[in-house]
Amino acid sequence: MNKAKAIQLIEKQIRKLENLKKFRYDSPEITQWETETRFLLIKIFGKNSHQLNEFEFAIAPKDLRIGISEAEEQRGYVRRLSDAKSVLLAIKTELKEFDIHENSEKDNPFLFLERIFNRFHKVVRQLRDRYNDRKTLDVKDEYDVQDLLHALLKLFFDDVRTEEWTPSYAGGAARMDFLLKDEKIVIEVKKAREGLGDKQIGDQLLQDIERYRNHPDCRHLVCFVYDPEGKIGNPRGLEADLSREEDNFKVSVYVRPG
C-alpha cells in the first residue's frame, strides 16, 4: 500500500470515529469500527508495529471496577474515542513525514527470503522421503543448494536471474548466484563442508561483499550459508560479524540450520 492510499484510509477512519460518540459504549458499530481500524493498521504497518500497539492501548477500557454506572461507562468510552483519535492523527502525521515501513509480505521481499532460508533444511529432508524410494534431488553440494533455492525463489519472485556477472575484483569477474533485479537484491550461496568452515566461508563472503559494494543492481547482498552438518562452529557469530548496513548498501548473512 502506498503512502497516499494509507493516509486516505486513516482519514476515513477518523471521520467515522466522529460519528461514534452518539452510540452507546457497547454498540456493535463500535466493535465494527475498532475491527476495521485494527485490520487497516496491520495492513499498513504489520502485526507487531508500535502504531497498532498504541491504538490497542487507546481503545482498551481503563476503568475495570465492578458495578460502575452506565454513565461512567459512557464517559470512559468517550475518553477512549478521544485517545484513539489522537493516536490516529499522530499516525497520519507520521505517514506524511516518513516513509511507510513495509511489513506486509507483498511489499517486503525479506519476509519471503527468511521463510525460505528458515525452512530450507526441512524441504531438503522432505524431498528425501518419497514414496517407494523414488529418486529425488539430494542436496550434496553447493550446486544442489543453488538448484533447490532457485526453485523456491520462483514461488515468490517473478524475475530471478542467474546469468549476471559481477564487476572485476582482485583480477577477475564472477557470476553471481541470483539477482532479484526489481528488488536490487543479490543472493550468494555457500554450503559448509569439510575444509570449508567458519574462516574459509567468512573469507569468501568478505570478498563477495567487496565485489558487490558498488554494483549498480545490488543494494542488498544476502548471503545464504547452508550448514546441515554443523561445520560452522559459531553461526550466530558469523552472521553478526559479516552483516552490516552502509549508505545504499546492506549485507545480511543467514546460516541455516543453526
pTM of the shown model: 0.58
Q: Strands 185-191 and 220-226: what pairing?
A: parallel
What is the biggest distance separating any 2 CA atoms in the chain, rounded to whole angstroms?
Answer: 81
Given a cut of 70, the residues of the chain with pLDDT beneath it are 1, 62-65, 67, 98-107, 163-174
Give the closest residue to 253 by CA, choosing from 193, 204, 184: 204
Chain centroid to CA 164: how far?
Answer: 26
Burial bucket for residue 106 (CB in 10 Å: 0-12, 13-18, 19+): exposed
Quote the CA–CA distance of 114 and 248 in Å, as a whole number: 21
- pLDDT of the residue at 62: 65
d(CA 220, CA 216): 11
Dihedral angle, C-alpha 217, 221, 227, 228, nearest 10 °: -60
pLDDT score recorded for residue 103 = 46
Residue 53 C-alpha cell reads as: 500497539
Per-residue model confidence as pLDDT tens digits over 179-204? 998 899 999 999 999 989 889 999 99
* Annotation: CATH topology of 109-256: Restriction Endonuclease (3.40.91)
Residue 30, CB-side half-sphere exposure with 13 Å CA sphere: 16
**Contact (CB, 8 A) for 1 and 100:** yes
Q: Coil, helix or strand for 118?
A: helix
Domain boundaries for CATH 3.40.91 within the chain: 109-256
**120 with 153: CB under 8 angstroms?**
no
